A and B are shown apart, each in its own frame.
Chain A
Amino acid sequence: MRWVSGILGLALLGSVMYAAEPTFSDSQRNWWAFKPVAKAAVPAVRNQTWVKTPIDAFVLAGLEAKNLAPNPPADRRTLLRRVSIDLTGLPPTEDEIQQFLNDKSPGAWDRQIDRLLASPRYGERWARHWLDVARYADSNGFKADETRPNIWRYRDYVIKAFNDDKPYDRFVREQIAGDELYPGDPEALVAMGFNRHWIDETNAAGLRTRRQETLDDITNTTGATFLGMTVACARCHDHKYDPITHKDYYRLQAFFANTSYGDGPLPVGDPVERAKYEEQKKTWEEKTKDIRAEMAAILEPLRKSKVEGGIKTFEDEVQEAILMDPSKRNPFQQMMWHTASSRLTFDEEPDARTLRTLKGDSGTRYAELKKQLAAFDSIRPAPRPIGQFMIDISAEAPPVYTLKNGNWQNAGDEVKPGFLSILAPGDAVITRPAGMNSTGRRSALAAWLTDPANPLPARVMVNRIWQHHFGRGIVATPGDFGRTGTKPTHPELLDYLAARFVEDGWSIKKMHRLILLSNAYQESSASQPAGAKADPDGKLLWRFPRQRIDAEALRDSMLFVSGQLNPKMGGPGVFPPVPAGVLSELSATAAAGGWQTEKDPAQMNRRSVYIFVRRNLRYPMLQEFDSANTFESAHTRSNTVTPAQALDLLNSDLMSQWARSFAGRVLNETGAQAIPAKQIARAFNLAYGREATAEELETAAAFLGEQTKILESRFASDDKAKPPMPDKVPAGMPPARAAAFVDLSQMLLASNEFLYVN
């Protein structure tokens, strides 16, 4: 069947199409996203003086075509707040503001950008954007939602990659085929955590369904992340809008046909150290060989019963694969065994409860042997850090078939690994990597995903960068460059940036600089009648779009301003307190780790990117403010305004705590004897990064006076419950005044000026 394009294709909504041999129409081939990246000449514009970087010429050309003019630049305070929150997720400090205001020499703005890009806070901020796309989470999802105890290394890898300005092509290669392309490099193996974030029902009754769902997740995520294509639509049938065939979906999936969990010790990076480690390990293994063999023999019945107990609900063919002679398993049977093994096996030793079932002599003997083994601990190499990642389980992949309606029971034709056939028809050329137990399939995919001739990857990534600077991509649907997505507002600019990205060695920081130095980025966000009339959404960028700061930046900024933020980087996810009542709802997952609230307050005040991401309990405040759903790639976030957010900002324990710290900070810095105006001015300065106006001082002072009176009556009453007080009340300050200042502080943090970037 031929591809039917355009309106006719759209009209065939009800029918399901399968292309045997795809032939694509001209309109499909000429779809903008599939055309080669063409670095257009920088357009000529009337107002040449406005053009600071080529970006400005492209933006201005669009504006001038509609007889619009860009806004004048924002003032320096606004600009510094804008770029600080943009690059680091935190507002600037007073010193940083003063330094910028006082820097009258040329290049002052450039220096601020360089300073912020060099800050480790930058990686923490921009990694979060990538983690949304990677559907990063610290747990499996589903009912049990077990903790993934070592997946946080992937999060730290992403933070480091951004801070190090790892070239994007290398970043992609490491995440798709780091195991094959950079053997022995622990970082590249951690990067393979990218496709280890699938949601997983480890106790699923059917193994084949579970396996297929994993493959679908990987295929969908890879297609949307690197290609900006909704390949998932082709899982059941040919894509109804884009030239992606049903077969293409499974061609893409075939690159991953032999992948599964590779969780385990990370290699030693340095070759000399690695050799030393291997040597030491070998010696230990030789000396303990007999002891370990006897221990294994004792455990054998437990192993067997674990297998037999675990497979009952599996499909017959899967049970057969698991119970057969391992040496006779074909690749499919190997995959079934491997997929099931996390549920059917234990590493060296089963859990303590199972171990206790060893009775009588064997129990005693096992304990003895364990003691004997421990005697060799001094020569045993220190255990390696454990990683969670995905690898090929062998050099031979099981066959992949097209699956009608996405159902593994409806297998169609067998397919070989291949790319989107509209861009690269035919099977991919696969070279098995020498000396490795791997297929080499993903290396071929990684090469295509970083090939400058592939029109999609560079466009997709520069669009994501643009999206986070301006709040909206040049293509507003960053995960969908197809017909159901939106078209680029500035197609030539997108191509220019994509080309520059590759020319600049895929450097993300260079791309930031290019964008941030433009006048377009520095425009004020004020409205102007002509722009509002001709382009109400501001798509042409006659102004900088005002944006609410995202969930993580909101929490981090509040912690920062209240003087509580703990800048410690990296490590396992942390568990700050959650509102009362939420934890009891987590009962089902309590056994799997649940939410063990930190005891150390400093740990509670880590940056949001380090908060444990439990799929069944997104951190409530972050969720309230639209943090990403972790069940699939999130390319954009919603931007909601809800009463629940208002309740959070008005009444939550967290807000109260931050307000008390913030108030304590201001009152102690200004001193108990300071006049209210001085305290208010200080609070405004810390919260908004600017001086309060005379009128604001007056309004705030009036509030402070009235609220103090209300609270005085409170303190005079018999009621024992006291209102929230500043962390440290300066000596000599009346309690009602101190409590009133907490309210003032909290309202500043809750106000729109704090929540929005101008």
Chain B
Amino acid sequence: MAHTKSHHWRVANRREFFTQAGSGLAAMALASLMAEDAAAAVDPLDPKPPHVSPRAKAVIFCFMEGGPSHVDLFDPKPALEKYIGQQVPASFHPETLGVTGFGTNKNGLMPSKRVFKQHGQSGLWISDWLPSIAEHADDLAVIRSCQSDAVNHVGGVCEMNTGDILAGRPSLGAWVTYGLGSAKRNLPTFVVMQDDKEILGGVQNYGSGFLPATYQGTLFRGGSTPILNLNPQAGTIDAQARRRLDFLKELNTRFSLDKQDDSELDARTRSYELAFQMQSAAPEAVDLSGESEATKKLYGMDEPETSVYGANCLMARRLVERGVRFVEVYSGSGSRWDAHSDLASNHTQNCKSSDKPVAGLLADLKSRGMLKDTLVVWGGEFGRTPFFQGALNEKAGRDHNPWGFTMFMAGGGVKGGQTIGSTDELGLRAEDEPHHIWDIHASILYLLGLDHLKTTFMHNGRAERPTRTGGNLITKLWA
């Protein structure tokens, strides 16, 4: 029988697709209801209808890898002055902290040396380390009560990406691709960019886990050929590549003559055309030469400290413009924000290199009318402790703090100029409205139109979802 559409993976038909893709009980009911249904193949990247009305079309996740210090950036804690040098007071139950990344939980508390001011109409508190982002205060929803389970980076980065400190689960971008399909087929749907070393934990952070590999993120490499094997072999010319491809099509068409029912063969034949289109679409998307000088300047591309991250942020905007749904732009990839010692110079450098580019991205999106349906997320895998690491002097650092830290969101239907949740007096633990990473993920999915409870995939006997066993919507973000 002839199929109009093709399937791309082991799910051979609609029935099987729902068996794996539906949620628990519903899936089983569907599986039996559809048992008599004729096979209709499903292309796993076909656009799928959202569960709720989407507010955002795309996400740009500015990932500050290594853990930015919330108490020095967004969450002022004047009380630390009075406890300076003292251990965490007993009333804050330091004994229940358990393990810290570097065993510093008996160190003294250290106030911030930054100057905090209120910004915009809304009066959001932002320190002088982020002067450009501060100009967009009224667009930001600052969540001060984020929580993670990880005491170290690999687990933390992994959890921020996949919802679990252990590697192997699908990343959020993969779930989004799975849940919504692909808007544009000549570019990957989920793109990751690094500005320095490898992300700690590597590919697992943008992998597809138990979802089919179709949904994994694509790491864009620097230069004009962002995708692996994008360019024909050196010395090959266009006419040669085209003629070769035509010959391949002739071979495949002949092979399929008596196999018309096999849609997978057809899909494979077509995948070469798609690859061919990608060969021109991807280099075009990362080619910044057509951008005006003013735009480049907006992202700080004219300054050495901000040129790398600025270019990546600009590329992120171009990708989103071209239909890419999920872009992760790492600042300090390979854990550069990890300020165990000399917090002052570490964060001065990292804030400098990312502040203007992120602000430029917000401004550029806004002026193009894209901010309203592009969600920008800012944050690291955790924050930093209010107690010092090393010695309490100008070279002091701070340890990892997964118990309470700050992230912000802007655009994509988010109500700006608000602060959500709080940490305790020390900035140690989330206090009001604590939000686990799963809440963050559930909310990002919601803004994209996906109900995290309905975004499920049957795996080893469980209807797995992005938020594992949790996830509460942070409704204040849009309500």
Give the most central of A484, A548, A581, A645: most B CB within 10 Å.
A484
Q: Which residues of A contact B153 (CB under 8 A)?
A: 143
> What mask results when residues 228 to 249 of chain B are scored 1 for a CB within 8 Å of chain A, else 0?
1111111111011101111110
Q: A744 vs B255: C-alpha distance in the bound complex, in angstroms? A: 16
In the bound complex, do residue B461 and residue A638 qualify as a contact, i.e. CB atoms below 8 Å apart? no
Q: Which residues of A contact B93 (CB under 8 A)?
A: none
Q: A722 vs B202: C-alpha distance in the bound complex, in angstroms? A: 36
Q: Which residues of B contact A589 (CB under 8 A)?
A: 202
In the bound complex, do residue A579 and residue B228 qualify as a contact, i.e. CB atoms below 8 Å apart? yes
Q: A689 vs B16: C-alpha distance in the bound complex, in angstroms? A: 34
In the bound complex, do residue B214 and residue A642 qualify as a contact, i.e. CB atoms below 8 Å apart? yes
Q: Does B79 sit at the interface, judged by CB under 8 A?
A: no
Given contacts A696-B254, A752-B269, contact A546 B262 (CB under 8 A): yes
Give the most central of A483, A617, A696, A707: most B CB within 10 Å.
A707
Considering the complex, give the chain A residue whose CB is closest to the CB of B400: A205
Given contacts A230-B461, A650-B245, A748-B251, contact A587 B278 (CB under 8 A): no
In the bound complex, do residue A241 and residue B461 qualify as a contact, i.e. CB atoms below 8 Å apart? yes
Q: A587 vs B194: C-alpha distance in the bound complex, in angstroms? A: 13
Considering the complex, give the chain A residue whose CB is closest to the CB of B37: A536
Give the most central of A242, A581, A721, A752: most B CB within 10 Å.
A752
Q: A632 vs B167: C-alpha distance in the bound complex, in angstroms? A: 10
Q: How far is the CB of B105 from chain A (nearest CB, A)?
A: 10
In the bound complex, do residue A536 and residue B168 qualify as a contact, i.e. CB atoms below 8 Å apart? no
Q: Does B341 sit at the interface, judged by CB under 8 A?
A: no
Q: Which residues of A contact B233 (CB under 8 A)?
A: 651, 653, 656, 723-724
Selected interface stretch from B6-14, B70-78, B317-325, B365-373: B6-14
Interfacial residues of chain B within 3-37, with CB under 8 A of chain A in the complex = 6, 8-10, 12-13, 16, 19, 24-25, 28
Q: How far is the CB of A543 from chain B (nearest CB, A)?
A: 10
Q: A620 vs B228: C-alpha distance in the bound complex, in angstroms? A: 10
The one of A11, A585, A723 that contacts B235, using a Cβ cutoff of 8 Å: A723
Considering the complex, give the chain B residue whose CB is closest to the CB of A135: B168
In the bound complex, do residue A242 and residue B166 qualify as a contact, i.e. CB atoms below 8 Å apart? no
Given contacts A724-B235, A756-B265, contact A639 B228 (CB under 8 A): no
Q: Does A313 sit at the interface, judged by CB under 8 A?
A: yes
The one of A486, A585, A651 that contacts B232, using a Cβ cutoff of 8 Å: A651
Selected interface stretch from B96-104, B114-122, B349-357, B438-446: B96-104
Q: A588 vs B65: C-alpha distance in the bound complex, in angstroms? A: 14
Q: Does B394 sit at the interface, judged by CB under 8 A?
A: no
In the bound complex, do residue B240 and residue A526 qualify as a contact, i.e. CB atoms below 8 Å apart? no
> Is the interface on chain B under 10, 10 to 19, 20 to 34, or 35 or more residues?
35 or more
Given contacts A632-B168, A747-B247, contact A644 B228 (CB under 8 A): yes
Q: How far is the CB of B97 from chain A (nearest CB, A)?
A: 11
Q: Does B140 sit at the interface, judged by CB under 8 A?
A: no
Q: A486 vs B15: C-alpha distance in the bound complex, in angstroms? A: 12
In the bound complex, do residue A536 and residue B38 qualify as a contact, i.e. CB atoms below 8 Å apart? yes
> What mask results when residues 716 to 746 of chain A are scored 1 for a CB within 8 Å of chain B, else 0?
0000011110000000000000000001101
Q: How far is the CB of A366 from chain B (nearest CB, A)?
A: 31
Q: Which residues of A contact B256 (CB under 8 A)?
A: 752
Given contacts A142-B201, A205-B152, A312-B103, contact A747 B264 (CB under 8 A): no
Considering the complex, give the chain B residue whose CB is closest to the CB of A756: B265
Q: Which residues of A contact B38 (CB under 8 A)?
A: 536
Q: Does A396 sit at the interface, judged by CB under 8 A?
A: no
The one of B24, B154, B251, B271 that contacts A646, using a Cβ cutoff of 8 Å: B271
Q: Which residues of B contact A748 (CB under 8 A)?
A: 251
In the bound complex, do residue A642 and residue B272 qualify as a contact, i.e. CB atoms below 8 Å apart? no
Considering the complex, give the chain A residue whose CB is closest to the CB of B250: A699
Interfacial residues of chain B within 247-296, with CB under 8 A of chain A in the complex = 247-248, 250-252, 254-256, 258-262, 264-265, 267-269, 271-272, 274-275, 278-279
Given contacts A13-B25, A484-B461, A485-B461, contact A707 B167 (CB under 8 A): no
Q: A653 vs B151: C-alpha distance in the bound complex, in angstroms? A: 41
> What mask results when residues 194 to 233 of chain B are scored 1 for a CB within 8 Å of chain A, else 0?
1001101111100101101110001101000001111111
Q: Does B460 sit at the interface, judged by CB under 8 A?
A: yes
In the bound complex, do residue A205 and residue B101 qualify as a contact, i.e. CB atoms below 8 Å apart? yes
Considering the complex, give the chain B residue whose CB is closest to the CB of A642: B214
Q: Does B52 sit at the interface, judged by CB under 8 A?
A: no
Q: Does A64 sit at the interface, judged by CB under 8 A?
A: no
Q: Which residues of B contact A240 (CB under 8 A)?
A: 462
In the bound complex, do residue A537 and residue B254 qualify as a contact, i.e. CB atoms below 8 Å apart? no
Given contacts A11-B25, A647-B229, A703-B243, contact A751 B264 (CB under 8 A): no
Q: A656 vs B228: C-alpha distance in the bound complex, in angstroms? A: 15
In the bound complex, do residue A714 and residue B265 qualify as a contact, i.e. CB atoms below 8 Å apart? no
Considering the complex, give the chain B residue whose CB is closest to the CB of A616: B202
Q: How far is the CB of B166 from chain A (nearest CB, A)?
A: 7
Q: A533 vs B28: C-alpha distance in the bound complex, in angstroms? A: 23
Q: Does B334 sit at the interface, judged by CB under 8 A?
A: yes
In the bound complex, do residue B152 and residue A204 qualify as a contact, i.e. CB atoms below 8 Å apart? yes
Given contacts A206-B98, A527-B259, A616-B203, contact A636 B10 (CB under 8 A): yes
Interfacial residues of chain B within 30-64, with CB under 8 A of chain A in the complex = 38-39
Given contacts A485-B461, A710-B240, contact A641 B8 (CB under 8 A): yes
Q: Does A502 sit at the interface, judged by CB under 8 A?
A: no
In the bound complex, do residue A616 and residue B462 qualify as a contact, i.e. CB atoms below 8 Å apart? no
Q: A383 vs B173: C-alpha distance in the bound complex, in angstroms? A: 50
Give the most central of A199, A201, A589, A650: most B CB within 10 Å.
A650
> What mask results when residues 574 to 597 of chain A are scored 1 for a CB within 8 Å of chain B, else 0?
000001011011111100000000
Q: Does A10 sit at the interface, judged by CB under 8 A?
A: yes
Q: How far is the CB of B264 from chain A (nearest CB, A)?
A: 6
In the bound complex, do residue A205 and residue B228 qualify as a contact, i.e. CB atoms below 8 Å apart? no
Q: How far is the CB of A310 from chain B (nearest CB, A)?
A: 11
Given contacts A143-B154, A143-B201, A230-B461, contact A747 B240 (CB under 8 A): no
The one of A232, A585, A703 that contacts B202, using a Cβ cutoff of 8 Å: A585
Q: Which residues of A contact B98 (CB under 8 A)?
A: 206, 315
Q: Does A177 sit at the interface, judged by CB under 8 A?
A: no
Considering the complex, give the chain B residue whose CB is closest to the CB of A242: B461
Q: Does B90 sit at the interface, judged by CB under 8 A?
A: no
Given contacts A143-B200, A313-B99, A641-B264, contact A651 B229 (CB under 8 A): yes
Q: Does B1 sit at the interface, judged by CB under 8 A?
A: yes
In the bound complex, do residue B261 and residue A532 qualify as a contact, i.e. CB atoms below 8 Å apart? yes
In the bound complex, do residue B236 and residue A224 qualify as a contact, i.e. CB atoms below 8 Å apart? no
In the bound complex, do residue A313 and residue B461 qualify as a contact, i.e. CB atoms below 8 Å apart? no
Q: How far is the CB of A457 from chain B (nearest CB, A)?
A: 18
Q: Does A643 sit at the interface, judged by CB under 8 A?
A: yes
Considering the complex, give the chain A residue whose CB is closest to the CB of B251: A751
Q: How far is the CB of B162 from chain A (nearest CB, A)?
A: 11
Q: Does A213 sit at the interface, judged by CB under 8 A?
A: yes
The one of A480, A527, A722, A747 that contacts B248, using a Cβ cutoff of 8 Å: A747
Give the most central of B9, B28, B212, B233: most A CB within 10 Å.
B233
In the bound complex, do residue A721 and residue B278 qualify as a contact, i.e. CB atoms below 8 Å apart? no
Considering the complex, give the chain B residue whose CB is closest to the CB of A706: B243
Considering the complex, give the chain A residue whose CB is closest to the CB of B263: A641
Given contacts A199-B166, A242-B461, A751-B252, contact A639 B9 (CB under 8 A): yes
In the bound complex, do residue B202 and residue A199 qualify as a contact, i.e. CB atoms below 8 Å apart? no
In the bound complex, do residue A703 and residue B274 qualify as a contact, i.e. CB atoms below 8 Å apart? no
In the bound complex, do residue A641 and residue B271 qualify as a contact, i.e. CB atoms below 8 Å apart? yes
In the bound complex, do residue A585 and residue B198 qualify as a contact, i.e. CB atoms below 8 Å apart? yes
Q: A707 vs B234: C-alpha distance in the bound complex, in angstroms? A: 17
Given contact pairs A315-B98, A647-B229, a sample of 8 additional A-B residue pairs in the complex whose CB atoms are under 8 Å apart? A205-B103, A233-B460, A242-B461, A581-B228, A587-B334, A640-B214, A642-B213, A723-B240
Q: 8 A-B residue contacts at CB 8 Å?
A: A10-B28, A142-B154, A205-B152, A484-B461, A615-B167, A640-B213, A642-B271, A643-B271
List the 8 shortest-distance A-B pairs measured between CB atoms, nearest first.
A230-B461, A646-B275, A631-B168, A312-B103, A536-B39, A143-B154, A484-B461, A647-B229
